[in-house]
Amino acid sequence: EASAEGPTNGHGGLNGSMNGNVDDNKAPESPAISQDPNGAAAAVTPDPQKSEDLQDEESKPIIDQDTSESRFDGLAGAVEASVNSSIGRRLGSITAPFPVTAAELGVMSDERNRTYLADLLEKGIKKETNGGAKDVEAPESKQQMHARVMSLVEKIKKDETERRIPMQSTDHGIDEDDHDPVVQEADKNVDMAVNVLVSVLLRSSPEYGIDPREVEHRQEVFGSNALTEKKTESFLKLCWDAVQDFVLIMLIVLGIISIVVEVVTHIEDGKTCSTCWIEGAAILMSVCIVVLVTASIDYAKQFAFIRLTKSLHETNTKAVIRDGKQLAITDDDIVVGDILSVNSHSLATIPADCILLGPAADLKMDESALTGESRLVSKKAGDVILSGTNAAQGTGKMVVFAVGANSMSGKIRARVYETDEAADDELGEGEDSPLFVKLEELAKNIGIAGTVAAVAALIGSCIIGLAIEGDDPADIVDYLVTAITVLAVAVPEGLPLAVTLALAFSSNKMMREQNLVKHLDACETMGCATTICTDKTGTLTANKMTARALYIGMGMDYVVDDPSSTLGGYVASQGVSQSVIDLLCRAISINTMNETVLHYSEDTETVEGGSGNPTEVALLHLVHDLGQKYAEIRNTTKGRSDQGAFAEHLAEGKQFGFSSARKMMSWAVPTEGGGYRLYCKGAQETIFSRCTKITGSNGEAVELGDDEKENTPSVALAYARRGMRNLALAYRDLPEGFQMESVSDTIKNSDGSPAFLAETEMTMISLVGIEDPLRPEVPGAIEKCYQAGIDVRLVTGDNPNTAVSIAYQAGILRDFHFREGTTERVAANLRENVLMEGKDFRSEVYNVKEDGEREFNQMVFDKIWPHLRVLARSSPDDKLTLAHGLNQSNLFADKDVCKKLLDEDGIVVFPDRQVVAMTGDGTNDAPALKRADIGFAMGVAGTQIAKDAADIILLDDNFASIVTAAKWGRNVYASIQKFLQFQLTVNIAAVITALVGAFVYQTSPLAAIQLLWVNLLMDSLASLALASEPPVEELLQKPPVNRTQSMISKHMWANMLGQATYQIIVVMVLLFAGPDLLDIEPGHEVEDRDENSVHYTLIFNTFVWMQLFNEINCRKLKGEFNVFTGLFRNPLFCGILVTTAFLQVLIVQFGSIAFRVADDGLDGKYWAMSLIFGAGSLIVQQVINVVYRMAQYYNGTRHSPRTAKDRKAATRPL
């Protein structure tokens, strides 16, 4: 049987069920394909001995075809035989031209009818006939194939013309005419036509896919599925945008006016203007530098977003078949001819335009994303599946025929990106977050204050200078320069830069720590999180499911405690009946998804791993350990197999896909004697409640007695208390003609919908206990959450005892959550409302109106949520309800209730609205992820839709990474506070200095260009330095930041006012007493002679060094005495500090003309004085800390009873 391994180059006819002898000497070696950590297929490495030019390599004859087991007959069967005969003998060069173009295939996305499919085949066959390579070995077989395909084409066209059979199925499932023999024949012809398209025109195989060596060639011919990125803004455009800032425009005007006035004044006075233009030019140069820096950051940010988009794309993978092996390939790497496997379990979004391959598999698609219609559309072989739609029911195997810009979603995206209003949803360019709202309000208030100060400086200078001192009216230009300088100093231009840098720096660092941030503002929002609602599987646990216990019934209970032993091996050694083992293995093998597979070593005996659903992988491991092969069972079962002759009967089977409402999955297959056998697996209590019989010791079905009704739940409880997940397996024999879609009038699913009759009155096979060990880092991470004031709630679909076991191990549940006097940590011993099941939760928080509609009751919810720690047997809607209720709760405003909760239960309610973080991996979790303040999607186990809905993607699905996100989020907030503390200190000191100078001397002792250096350039460097401060563990030892809390805390005000007061005193002393104390000429007298003074240069140098030393102080916000802690762990901060100091030395010593400093710089004694006054900022900070703590202590003694009570509330456990 050649089909066991398949043709080594990935081709081999239509069905893959080809018998014959393989010529081992002629069959080309298959390339080795490696798998990268992200799941994408990596480089293809051919056999070194086959290193000849692959582009000219001709495939050898592979096999002689035998179509005796074909699922086709009539004309379709004849075409299959011809194609197999022709294709099987010679495949041609792997870089040979294709008889169809990307444009011709792309039209099929628009046409989507059988006539165009027939026309496409006709064109391709004619090209093959007229221009194809001559097959000297079997010209008759190829001619015969062409003739029969043309007959098939004519037949399809005739059917389309006469009967108008649509290419697309209806939304109501199978058409009424589907049982008409004529319609069935037409459907088979179309099914065969699609197979011809795959094998002849696309040179692929429904069973074995493409040759991996062809990927690059196919991308060149048909295009790449990586859509063209939106055009980035040019650097010049970003410069233009940056220069629109109001302050920068004023500075440009100021610079031009300065140059014009100085030049004109010198000409009128008969002087030469060799350097008079320098100051104005320096101002313009400063503006240029600021514009270039801003534009450079924006330009780099564009590419950061491109990298982010690429990272997001790398998390979207699909299962494709290449060279007969199922691989996980990223959406961008999918090519035309790939065979794609999809199922409703993951509700995968189709990444490219495809055609469904036969036989029919009860596939229903959700096309609402394209059409707006919410009804599901049934698909059958030959139907077009458009990119962007989702598999909502069933499974399907399809061939890709259009990718990238030629696909439907690619065409839409291209049209969208042609407009100027292209949305940047994926990049998070939405409305402002609370942080940005706070900052805009702060900047607005500072701007108003700066404007008032500038106007006051201008008016005061004019009154004093013109009216009192009698200055020349031309000096009004100097007054205007001083006023604009005051305004420039007052406005914190470095603030937006600091915010952008802090968010970008944090998001990049978070990426390295397994947090892929989609929306930058999610960084700081996570820093305010008060509640985390987390999944169990894969997040708290390692997601390495292993079957460790098996209960077959009749007292047969097998538990394996030794990690080195397998459950299957242990069960097989205990003399369990072979009929029971066979039944168990068939139930598992048949009722698992195609995408769930085990990976075997080359000897095909050793399992190296698995992929797909982790629970199903554990079950397949059990089958393997029991000595059976799941693939053989799948592929030889009618109604389940899609291979060989069995594929003809695939439509006879019926799959009931898993849903959170039903909590089970079933697959019905036809039996030899007529009728069906339905295999079912799902939640233990749900399955067991629908069983009337149980499997006996020899595999026979026996009535479920009272003893067994007690034993099975007891065993399940014992498994659950050990932290195992209980999964029940059952079956039911159905009579011929049974209506699979019929539902029960009495039995309901967990959401209240009627259950399928087929899934009732079943026979219990076994109970499987599956263990998923807790991640070792989770308990420590949850302890950090509690220390940080972040509440953690477990929301899981598991039964209550399993959920409680995991929650207690993780530390979500503590001893005080259980009733006093109890020692066993099980669900029954928990206090009221600490644990709730989904159905009870829904019944409590929703009121049912008379018309049957449900109404959310916030008051009842507020009574539950402070106690709630575990929500078991929950549905995705419960997550949405929880996120909504927490987010809308105003319980904190009811002080009496909060006091009662504290006194009676020791529960501290956060004094502001809850900020909710929610984790999710399923498609149905997407609304909850959207509704939460921060949505976390699982990067490994999450569906694509969940990832699209989330703000942050956990690349390792690990709860500890959520705590990392919280730490970095708080660090963003702290970094911006640090910069604000630094910036506002500079602004207060500089504005007051400039105002004093304006009123006393009608000019500022700090020149405009000097203040620009302080305010624009040095502050920009400071924003980068302070934004790059790494997070410290102390951030997680304080409560979250309130939504309404001011960004400037009391301690920050103390630091800013204390440092600004010190700086102003130093500057005022140097300004008024400096000339006498230091025996130097006053600066204003020197300036009147248009010379640069040592006096003002000393003031400028001292002022800058006080800022540099205060920058070190600003690394701390809470009055820490050791401001140097962690300084050398941040090399960027140290580098910027040293760079700024070096530039200051250059400016003072060599920048006399441009920066209006003394021609020869400063002497050593003045440098020492500047450095001493600068270092004095460090001493002043210690004084501020001591005074602030003394004030706190004084206030504490006045309000000691209340303080003690608050301290108790803050330290009591949640």
Kindly list the catalytic residues. Answer: 535
Strand runs (DSSP E) across 595-700, as ranges? 597-600, 607-611, 654-659, 664-670, 676-683, 691-695
Most distant CA pair in the chain: distance in Å?
A: 119
The amino acid occupying position 807 is: A
Between the alpha carbon of residue 385 and those of residues 67, 146, 167, 351, 389, the distances in Å are 29, 27, 11, 10, 7
* Of 988, 995, 982, residue with least CA distance to 1136: 982
Structure tokens belonging to residue 247: 């302050």
User: Quick one: CA torsion of 145, 148, 152, 154, rounded to 10 degrees?
Assistant: 120
Q: Does residue 14 contact residue 195 with C-beta atoms inside 8 Å?
A: yes
Alpha carbon distance 603, 803 (integer Å): 40
Give burial (CB, 10 Å; 0-12/13-18/19+) of 743: middle
User: Quick one: CA torsion of 1106, 1108, 1109, 1115, rounded to 10 degrees?
Assistant: 130
* Of 874, 941, 833, 880, residue with least CA distance to 541: 941
Alpha carbon distance 65, 19 (integer Å): 6
| Beta partners for residue 655, in sequence order | 667
Structure tokens belonging to residue 140: 């008759």
* Angle 260-266-272 from CA coordinates, rounded to 5°: 115
| Beta partners for residue 32, in sequence order | 45
| Beta partners for residue 349, in sequence order | 390
Mapped onto helix, strand or coil, the DSSP state of residue 1080 is coil
- DSSP-derived letter for residue 701 is E
Q: Which residue has the tokens 């504005």?
A: 991
Give burial (CB, 10 Å; 0-12/13-18/19+) of 1136: buried
Alpha carbon distance 503, 667 (integer Å): 49
Alpha carbon distance 353, 335 (integer Å): 11
| Residue-wise burial string across 600-626, b where 16 or more C-beta atoms lie within 10 A, e elsewhere | beeeeeeeeebbbbbbbbbbbbbbbbb
Structure tokens belonging to residue 19: 């018998």
Q: Does residue 547 contact residue 622 with C-beta atoms inside 8 Å?
A: yes
Give burial (CB, 10 Å; 0-12/13-18/19+) of 70: buried
Alpha carbon distance 171, 154 (integer Å): 28
Q: Does residue 330 contact residue 907 with C-beta atoms inside 8 Å?
A: no
Q: Does residue 81 contact residue 67 with C-beta atoms inside 8 Å?
A: yes
Structure tokens belonging to residue 1119: 């009055």
Mapped onto helix, strand or coil, the DSSP state of residue 757 is helix
Integer Rg of the chain from CA: 38
Helices (H) then strands (E): counts for the chain: 40, 34
Q: Does residue 376 contact residue 657 with C-beta atoms inside 8 Å?
A: no
Direct distance between the N- and C-terminal alpha carbons of the chain, in angstroms, rounded to an integer: 65
The amino acid occupying position 653 is: G
Structure tokens belonging to residue 1124: 């140097």
Structure tokens belonging to residue 740: 């699979």
| Residue-wise burial string across 855-883, b where 16 or more C-beta atoms lie within 10 A, e elsewhere | eeeeeebbebbbbbbbbbbbbbbbbbbbb
